């Protein structure tokens, strides 16, 4: 039975044995971590519109991806509406910077290559969360506070493709394996704004998908997702019907 390893950008990720999975999925700049660790080319990568919004951490991530490759590249757009007045006033400029075409242009500038570009609207990902979480009330409530991270979206896409998914390189922090994330100093914290939403969704998924495991203790402790073992390769899970 095939398995997908979903790799986040956490420094020094705890990796399962190479024999445990046959495909790799990456989020934002974790392809740089994969290349450094000698992992195979990602079959799937999800990149957020935030990478081209003008923030320094986005530029850092794009630089780290120079010369790398993925099979499929999925564009994760911004939510359709900003809640605060300042954000609404800046919306036209931000919307221009965060278009799929802008990401393509920036990736071309760093010689990052992909074989297929997938551009779904935000509603597609919202629907995927609703379906895979069976319209869980806590998930719905938390989603109204903050959208999930790009890494969480990558996990969901992997679950839509395989009964077995292994999560590595996640810590619910802003840390990057390829450099110090400038947001840590700018915000004065290592904590990710997406942490509460990601943890809520992962707790729901841990109850519904026995084939979802993790090699990271911090993920297991926060979400109840079981730690990967050789025996966990034989766990079965419901097959979701969502197709990206």
pLDDT per position as a tens digit, 113-131: 999 999 999 999 999 999 9
pLDDT given at position 178: 86
195 in any annotated domain:
yes
Q: How many domains does the chain have?
A: 1
Which residue range(s) make up the domain with 116? Answer: 4-234
- According to the model, what pLDDT value does residue 233 have? 60
Asked if residue 241 is part of any domain, the answer here is no
Prediction pTM value: 0.90
List the chain residues with pLDDT less than 50: 83, 85, 89, 236-243
pLDDT the model gives residue 221: 98
Which among 82, 73, 80 has a CA at the least distance from the CA of 100?
73
For residue 76, the domain's CATH number is: 3.90.1480
Output the pLDDT for position 237.
45
Give the model's pLDDT for residue 232: 66
**49: in domain:** yes
- Is 209 inside a domain boundary? yes
Question: In this structure, what token pair is assigned to residue 144?
Answer: 């109204």
Is 158 within the bounds of a domain? yes
Q: Is residue 65 part of a domain?
A: yes
Q: What pLDDT is attached to residue 8?
A: 96
pLDDT of residue 239: 46
The per-residue pLDDT for range 205-228, each reduced to its tens digit, is 999 999 999 999 999 999 999 999
Within a domain: 242: no
Q: Is the residue at 243 inside a domain?
A: no
């Amino acid at each position: 039975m095939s398995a997908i390893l979903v790799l986040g950008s956490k420094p020094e990720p705890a990796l399962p044995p190479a024999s445990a999975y046959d495909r790799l999925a990456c989020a934002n700049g974790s392809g740089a971590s994969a290349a450094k660790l000698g992992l195979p080319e990602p079959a799937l990568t999800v990149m957020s519109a935030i990478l081209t919004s003008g923030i320094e951490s986005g530029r850092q991530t794009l630089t780290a991806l120079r010369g790398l490759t993925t099979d499929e590249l999925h564009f994760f757009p911004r939510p359709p509406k900003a809640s605060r007045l300042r954000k609404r006033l800046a919306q036209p400029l931000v919307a221009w910077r965060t278009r799929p075409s802008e990401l393509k242009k920036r990736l071309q500038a760093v010689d990052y290559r992909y074989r297929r570009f997938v551009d779904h609207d935000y509603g597609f990902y919202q629907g995927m969360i609703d379906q895979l979480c069976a319209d869980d009330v806590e998930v719905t409530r938390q989603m109204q506070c903050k959208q999930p991270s790009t890494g969480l979206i990558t996990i969901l896409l992997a679950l839509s493709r395989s009964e077995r998914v292994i999560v590595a390189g996640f810590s619910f922090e802003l840390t990057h394996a390829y450099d110090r994330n400038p947001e840590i100093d700018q915000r004065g914290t290592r904590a990710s704004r997406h942490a509460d939403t990601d943890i809520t969704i992962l707790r729901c998924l841990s109850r519904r998908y026995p084939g979802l495991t993790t090699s990271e203790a911090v993920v297991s402790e926060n979400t109840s997702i079981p730690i990967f073992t050789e025996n966990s390769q034989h766990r079965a899970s419901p097959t979701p019907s969502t197709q990206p």
